[in-house]
Structure 1
Amino acid sequence: MRRLPIALAAAALLTFATGCGSLSPPGENTAAAPRLVDARPVRDGGVAVIGLKSDPDKLDPSLTGTLVARTVFTSMCEQLYDVDRHNRFVPQLAASLPKISDGGRTFTFDVRRDARFSDGAKLDAQAVKTSLERHLHLRGSGRASEIDSVEKVDTVGPYTVRLTLRHPDTPLLGRLANTAGLIMSPKAIAKYGSAFAAHPSCVGPFKYVKRVIGDRIELTKDPLYYDADKVHLDGVVYKTITDGNIRLANLRSGDVQIGDQMGPVEVRSGMGDKTLQLLNTPSLGYMAVTLNVGNAHGIAEKPGRVNTPFSRDVRVREAFDLSLDRALINKIVFQDMYEPACGPVPPGTPLSTPVTCPGRDVDKAKRLLKAAGVRTPVPLELMINTTPEDNRLGQVIQAMAKDAGFDVRLRPTEFATGLTRTLAGDFQARTGGWGGQPDPAGNIDSLVGTTGSNNQGKLSDPEVDRLIEAGRSTADPAKRRDIYRRLTAAINRQHAVIYLYRNINYAVASKDISGIALSGDGLIRVKEAGYVKGGQG
């Protein structure tokens, strides 16, 4: 792919980004007053189409690893706990918050008594046990390391579950308010086994109808849902539209009612359209460049030897990090509508501490490469998604890194293919992110811990692992805050995950739709959404 000098890339991208009509000026952060939910009264009926940025991977809670799949799950597969609009944990399929005893080693909770899965199976303690044990033991499960503190799952009554932990695990509640808390029908698990993704059945306002890979996922209202009286839509269609401009065009034409993960360029254009509404909230996640330092045999295997300058010498990775200007990336690519980031802990959450991002230092980067004894320019293949936004990001990274002595070659890759390659270890570096959780352990443990099931680059560092364990083992907020401050520093010293920016969660929707909820985890919830009374749909 042709590379642009950084000054030319900046000029070209800023011209493109600001040529979108009568809009607010760049640098004005539209998330200053986040709109989380639109509560106009709605009528029953109609189908809403949601445009997704990428095609979800497997619709199997144990095996999925993508934010877009989690977005689909919000409509068809509820969790034990959820995150409300204020990023607080609240019961969903659980009937109450857990009772923690035995010094933090026993975790007991009740489950709802009024819920059924879409295939008619009853939700009870045994159903929860079946799902949690599948998360723990299914080969390739992305949940295994997330809840690996769980030694045993017991039912201590028809609707009571007791988790016996190997050690205290303060962040466990947060994980059960995420993908690890998704509960599947035991009937469907028994019938379909590893093919569950083709026949998913959960508790949710909508149930699965069919999927056309690369195109759409169709859901219909589930009459068995315990809260069906609050569900107004007849169905939801999740349609994959990777280009944000095309998602916006479909919103304007009425073919799509809600646009997920809209980028700054499309948001600014949408803000000038009186037929559209903007919902946004600060993200709990991050976006980063992940370098392959040990994923030699696949993500399910132990870290191995990857024979590249980046894997062999941390100085090469640090030099690459120092070649990047996070503030300028935010300005050029994202119109100052995101925030530079240099750590996994979301600011403004209870356990966060201020982190100063390193400035760009090309001279130091060159000195580090010289000390490492590598021949310049150092080659690096950077896998990016096939979206205009990722292409712009890749071009800016490419131009910045060139100044320090790197030859970055961009490899645009369709999302699902890129994920497959990443899990197999078939990459040198990739851009990507994490949707985020309020507890920092949810943004760290499985992603950079040696045994983490989402550790794509297979970073393995004893100090990082020790601090991860320490963060799990204490409930004292002051101690945990200090642990995560030190843990962030330890991760950054390895320069294997280079945190770049923290996006704002933007959703653009037709004004004909109301009742959409958007939380800090970036997930669009349409359980109570519907067409406004008197509107079309």
Structure 2
Amino acid sequence: MFRQLLKASLVASVVAFATAASAQGVHLRFGLADDADALDPHLNRTSAAETILNALCDRLVMLDQSMQFQPGLATQWTWSPDGKTLTMTIRDGVVFHDGTPVNAEAVKYNIDRAMNLTGSARRADLTAIDKVTTDGSKVIVQLKEASAPLLAKFAERTGAIISPKAAEAAGANFGRAPVCSGPYKFVERVAQDRVVVERFADYWNKAAYPIDRITFRVIPDDTVRLANLMSGDLDIIERLSPADAVTVQKNPQLKLLAVDPLNYQSIVVNIGNSKAADNPMGRDPRVREAFELALDRQAINEVAFNGQYVAGNQPVPPSSPYYEKSLPMPPRDAAKAKQILKDAGYTQPVPFELLVPNRPLAVRVAEMMQSMASEAGFDMKLKVVEFATTLSMTEQGDFQAWGPIGPQNANDPDAVTYMSLHSAGNRNVGKYANPQVDRIAALTRTETDPEKRKQAFHDLAKAIGKDRAVIYLYHQRPLFALSAKISGVEVSGDGYVLFRNMKLAK
């Protein structure tokens, strides 16, 4: 009863707010799954805040849905032959929401702030930078070593440019009322309820943003969020549950939008992190090969996610140019898995424990894998624990295998490879170490020639395929549901709505 009353109250509050705002021109109402943290691109860590910052802040570089770089505040950029200097030309005639100019000095201020601000969440993105200088409209970024992912970082929050004047005036409170140069300016925020932005009249490309006002509503309950969309009280919602995709597709007043950013969900095997790695899965790549053959990735996708995700066996999805096509996803073969275990001298069933984050879909996938593995000669136990607890357990090496787990919404393949596969990677909790993998992973970071870098990622896929320290399962597809009245929706390559060219019919 309480849950029903709560849902009714939330629906009523959205209706009341929509009525009060009806005189604001073309008004888009966007349903968020979580409240945002600080609306400061250098401190922010949540995807909800990044969605809002996409409306508020221009970035140095834009990333289209094909993962290609497009001009943003930087109209052009060039690398030095040694890959250690990046020169960007800043767009002329752009102003911040407070009327101050966007120029090379403002960009330098932002990069320096991201590197040095106490608590900066972007500092790790910029460790390769030695110094930043300016020359007229140009920003010159000099590096300690070549860093191919740097341009991709400037296409996300690291490249979101804020007003130096406003930042200096607000200090630590900047994120409460951010001032950027994007198509929309900040109006108000009510914690746990809404953030409101309105079109910036002096925006350099305002014709591409016909919507006058956007209200981001915080509605954590998936069911309530969808109910508000179906009733017409929201126009677009994020994080639609895959189980609700069919409902949306059958409704003529709604549309389903699925996007394919770089991400993966996987099983991370403890190879060398404490004594917990001393088990057949941790010691022997043949056992890991048998476990992979026990899995039916397509069935997992169909049953757990209504076929809305993408099954995969590499850090990037099969549609990615970085995918190594000579290593296609192996079909399930339980008989071959049993034979591999037998030939390796293991008495079946082979025991191992999987640490599972306590999330409904993760547990469902783990239970499916448990059933599949049992038919292939494994005795797989599940240890279901709160997600935050799994983080501390894996850092301490207190696990045999962990998953489904993985990075989300990356905009460069470096974010889904180096950090989990290089021996010094900050997400390599299984302490996997392979000198060949380290060498190739380092090359993917320093090679700035696009074709050579792509080949390096292909070589990396081949190098990791034998060890299977990370067993890739599937790639999540962020699902948006929206009113049929919305047209022209553009989504960035890392899975965020851009609001550019979006129209909402009345």
TM-score normalised according to structure 2 size: 0.78
Larger Rg: 2
How has the CA–CA distance of structure 1 residues 471 and 424 changed in structure 2, closer, same or farther, with 3 Å as cutoff?
closer
Counterpart in the other structure of 1:9: none
The two structures, once aligned, show a CA RMSD in angstroms of 3.9
Select the residue among 338, 355, 377 that pairs with 1:381.
355
Report the Cα distance in structure 1 between the residues aligned to 2:395 and 2:93, rounded to whole angstroms. 42
Report the Cα distance in structure 1 between the residues aligned to 2:346 and 2:90, rounded to whole angstroms. 56
Counterpart of 1:479, as a letter, is K
Select the residue among 309, 313, 329 that pairs with 2:282.
313
Report the Cα distance in structure 2 between the residues aligned to 1:214 and 1:397, rounded to whole angstroms. 37
Report the Cα distance in structure 2 between the residues aligned to 1:310 and 1:472, rounded to whole angstroms. 32
How has the CA–CA distance of structure 1 residues 118 and 290 changed in structure 2, closer, same or farther, with 3 Å as cutoff?
farther
Q: Secondary structure at the match of 1:498?
A: strand
Counterpart in the other structure of 1:126: 105
Counterpart in the other structure of 1:523: 496
Report the Cα distance in structure 1 between the residues aligned to 2:396 and 2:185, rounded to whole angstroms. 34
After the TM superposition, which of the residue ranges 417-426 and 518-527 deviates more from structure 2? 417-426
Select the residue among 458, 469, 472 that pairs with 1:499.
472
Report the Cα distance in structure 2 between the residues aligned to 1:449 and 1:138, rounded to whole angstroms. 28
Q: Summarize deviations over 1:388-430 as a string: whole Å, max 9, x none.
A: 54454344345445662221133355xxx68986998798535
How has the CA–CA distance of structure 1 residues 516 and 131 changed in structure 2, closer, same or farther, with 3 Å as cutoff?
same
Counterpart in the other structure of 2:3: none
Select the residue among 84, 87, 91 that pairs with 1:112.
91
* Deviation for aligned residue 1:174: 2.5
Counterpart in the other structure of 1:508: 481
- Residue 485, structure 1, aligned to residue 458, structure 2: yes
After the TM superposition, which of the residue ranges 327-336 and 54-63 deviates more from structure 2? 54-63
* Deviation for aligned residue 1:514: 2.9
Q: Secondary structure at the match of 2:227?
A: helix
How has the CA–CA distance of structure 1 residues 193 and 520 changed in structure 2, closer, same or farther, with 3 Å as cutoff?
same
Whether contact under 8 Å (1:142, 1:454) holds in the other structure is no
Select the residue among 34, 37, 47 that pairs with 2:27.
47
Counterpart of 1:313, as a letter, is G
How has the CA–CA distance of structure 1 residues 364 and 222 changed in structure 2, closer, same or farther, with 3 Å as cutoff?
farther
Q: Summarize deviations over 1:283-307 as a string: whole Å, max 9, x none.
A: 131221364859xxxxxxxxx9555
* Deviation for aligned residue 1:113: 2.6
* Deviation for aligned residue 1:517: 1.5
Report the Cα distance in structure 2 between the residues aligned to 1:451 and 1:224, rounded to whole angstroms. 46
Whether contact under 8 Å (1:339, 1:503) holds in the other structure is yes
Asked which structure has the greater RCO (Cα within 8 Å, sep 6+), the reply is 1
Write the mapping of 1:128-527 to structure 2, written as runs, cut at 5 A. Answer: 128-138=107-117, 141-157=120-136, 159-212=137-190, 214-281=192-259, 283-289=260-266, 291=268, 305=273, 308-309=276-277, 313-315=282-284, 318=288, 321=292, 323-354=294-325, 355-360=327-332, 363=337, 367=341, 377-385=351-359, 389-390=361-362, 392-400=364-372, 404-411=378-385, 429-430=402-403, 431-437=405-411, 439-446=412-419, 448-450=421-423, 452=425, 461-493=434-466, 495-527=468-500
How has the CA–CA distance of structure 1 residues 366 and 418 changed in structure 2, closer, same or farther, with 3 Å as cutoff?
farther
How has the CA–CA distance of structure 1 residues 49 and 426 changed in structure 2, closer, same or farther, with 3 Å as cutoff?
farther
* Deviation for aligned residue 1:208: 3.4
Aligned length: 473
* Deviation for aligned residue 1:82: 0.7
How has the CA–CA distance of structure 1 residues 349 and 200 changed in structure 2, closer, same or farther, with 3 Å as cutoff?
same
After the TM superposition, which of the residue ranges 213-222 and 328-337 deviates more from structure 2? 213-222
Whether contact under 8 Å (1:44, 1:232) holds in the other structure is no
* Deviation for aligned residue 1:258: 0.6
Report the Cα distance in structure 2 between the residues aligned to 1:197 and 1:427, rounded to whole angstroms. 37
Q: Secondary structure at the match of 2:133?
A: strand
TM-score normalised according to structure 1 size: 0.74
Report the Cα distance in structure 2 between the residues aligned to 1:341 and 1:85, rounded to whole angstroms. 20
Counterpart of 2:356, as a letter, is L
Structure 1's unaligned 5+ residue stretches are 1-42, 295-303
Whether contact under 8 Å (1:383, 1:427) holds in the other structure is no
Report the Cα distance in structure 2 between the residues aligned to 1:459 and 1:220, rounded to whole angstroms. 48
How has the CA–CA distance of structure 1 residues 204 and 478 changed in structure 2, closer, same or farther, with 3 Å as cutoff?
closer
Report the Cα distance in structure 2 between the residues aligned to 1:213 and 1:423, rounded to whole angstroms. 33
- Residue 84, structure 1, aligned to residue 64, structure 2: yes
How many percent of aligned residue pairs carry the same amino acid? 30
Report the Cα distance in structure 2 between the residues aligned to 1:426 and 1:141, rounded to whole angstroms. 27
Report the Cα distance in structure 2 between the residues aligned to 1:186 and 1:427, rounded to whole angstroms. 45
